[in-house]
Amino acid sequence: MNHKDVAEQLVPLLGGEDNILSGAHCATRLRLVIEDEGKVDKAAIEELDGVKGAFSSSGQFQVIFGTGTVNKVFTHFAPLAGISEGDKEASDAHKEAANKKMNPFARFARTLSNIFVPIIPAIVASGMLMGLLGLMNTYNWVDPESALFVMLDMFSSAAFIILPILIGYSAAKEFGGNPFLGAVVGGIMVHPALLNPWGLSDAQPETLDFFGFGVEMLGYQGTVIPVLLTVYFMSKIEKALRKVIPNMVDLLLTPFLTVVLTGFFALLVIGPLGRALGNGITGALGFLYDTAGPIAGLIFGGLYSTIVLTGVHHSFHAIEAEILAQIGGNYLLPIWAMANVAQGGATLAVFTRTKNKKTKEVAMPAAVSAFLGVTEPAIFGVNLKHRRPFIGAAIGGALGGAYVVFTQVMANGIGLTGVPMFAIAQDPLNYGIGFLIAVAGAFGATLLLGWKDEPNK
């Protein structure tokens, strides 16, 4: 493909330069904030050379090109659309423009996603180490008392023990506070003076008398919601203080007062309330998981891809991290994984039957992408476009979801689905069987349902 020609054709199809408010790109897609999406010719854009699909989501109109292609197109597209490439201020302006286009709930979900996505590598590393330790212990590869096992065990639990510090740093950046103060607040919540509840069951924390208020000296290692609420409060305090404290003493007084006020409020009010809220959410989901069993997997596996269309799935990382930290396993991620690979199965079915060259060109790489956990090309480039394959994928996701819940498959992390999730699956065998059920179910259902094939242009 000629990347320059594609960029030149794309601008007028988006309604012209004046209709493009801002733009950026990720690994696979152009992300554009459009003034009036009614001026966008979506059908014509999808016929452009190299385009694997186009859709509107999270306040942005997104055009899928794929890895390695999107950045080359963007290089030519940016000057034509009046976009500054690689400029931090332009990037911030793009995020702000996208936020204005989103409804409050979608904005909330995106905020949680922005906080947790940078933390995922740390949790994945810990999850893979936990899986390795499990294999070592099960098959007696290494003596559990050996130095190797003990040190690896330390490495695997570190991310969860300091999780509030990681979240504190990331959340403060997202909320507009000082990220290092956010990390300090997270550190307060996991201070050695507080009893570490992570991995302890019988130990009881002492209670301090703080001017008539009882402060339970229990730490927040492995928790998510308490630190999120606390850092949000911290960011508000910091911004308010900067407005009233003179510049000449701002560096001294603002951090000092922010940490002191937030620390007291965290241990006295927000922390206990956040812990209760987190326990309530995980308790309710655990009750549903234990009571409804495979039916819950059937429903969640079938509906997950529809939830993805709304953007609400971005908020699930926080819930998954809370569950993982509390019970040592994530039972939601295998269900989401079934829905994702089912999209690949449905796309593969379209590839085998379609006579349309453009669809066939898009379908195979989109299916591979879905098997690796990235579903946008499959959902928006193929399945949703033809409607019935999307229903077929929902059927496959429901069947796979029911199986992984029935066999109680869990993950040691968050964020990874598809083939990469084998690295953090606690039961790789049953996860693999569920994987095959989801793909085969979606493939067969899509062929049975059929779809209207478009003629070649």
pLDDT digits (tens, 9 = 90+) for 252-262: 999 999 999 99
Is residue 97 predicted with pLDDT exceeding 80? no
- Residue 211 burial (C-beta neighbours within 10 Å; 0-12, 13-18, 19+): exposed
Q: What angle do CA 34, 39, 41 make, to 5 degrees?
A: 100
Of 1, 26, 150, 448, the active-site residue reads: 26
437 or 46: which leads in pLDDT: 437
Is residue 93 predicted with pLDDT exceeding 70? no
Q: Residue 392 has what pLDDT?
A: 96
Domain boundaries, the chain: 3-102, 162-291, 294-449
Q: Provide the 3-class DSSP secondary structure of residue 50.
A: coil
Q: Which helix (H) or strand (E) holds 56?
A: strand 53-57
- Which tokens sit at 125? 């590393």
Band the pLDDT of 206: cuts 50, 70, 90. Answer: confident
pLDDT digits (tens, 9 = 90+) for 310-321: 777 877 888 898
Is residue 85 predicted with pLDDT exceeding 60? yes
Is residue 57 predicted with pLDDT exceeding 80? no
- Mean per-residue pLDDT for 86-108? 68
| Helix/strand/coil percent split, the chain, to 5 | 70, 10, 25
Active site residue 403: no
- Mean per-residue pLDDT for 370-394? 90
Q: Which fold has domain 3-102?
A: Gyrase A; domain 2 (3.30.1360)
Is residue 243 predicted with pLDDT exceeding 90? yes
User: Cα(62)–Cα(393) distance, rounded to whole angstroms?
Assistant: 22
Q: Residue 138 has what pLDDT?
A: 76
- Among 61-65, 199-203, 208-212, 328-332, which is the least confidently predicted range? 199-203
Using an 8 Å Cβ cutoff, are 297 and 401 in contact? yes
The residue count of the chain comes to 457
pLDDT digits (tens, 9 = 90+) for 168-189: 999 999 999 999 999 999 999 9
- Among 239-243, 302-306, 374-378, which is the least confidently predicted range? 374-378
Is residue 88 predicted with pLDDT exceeding 60? no
Q: Residue 447 has what pLDDT?
A: 95
pLDDT digits (tens, 9 = 90+) for 275-304: 899 889 888 988 999 899 899 999 999 999
Is residue 54 predicted with pLDDT exceeding 80? yes
Using an 8 Å Cβ cutoff, are 402 and 390 in contact? no
E strands in 58-200: 60-64
CA atoms lying within 13 Å on the CB side of residue 337: 33
The answer to whether the pTM exceeds 0.75 is yes
Average pLDDT, the chain: 88
Q: Residue 6 has what pLDDT?
A: 92
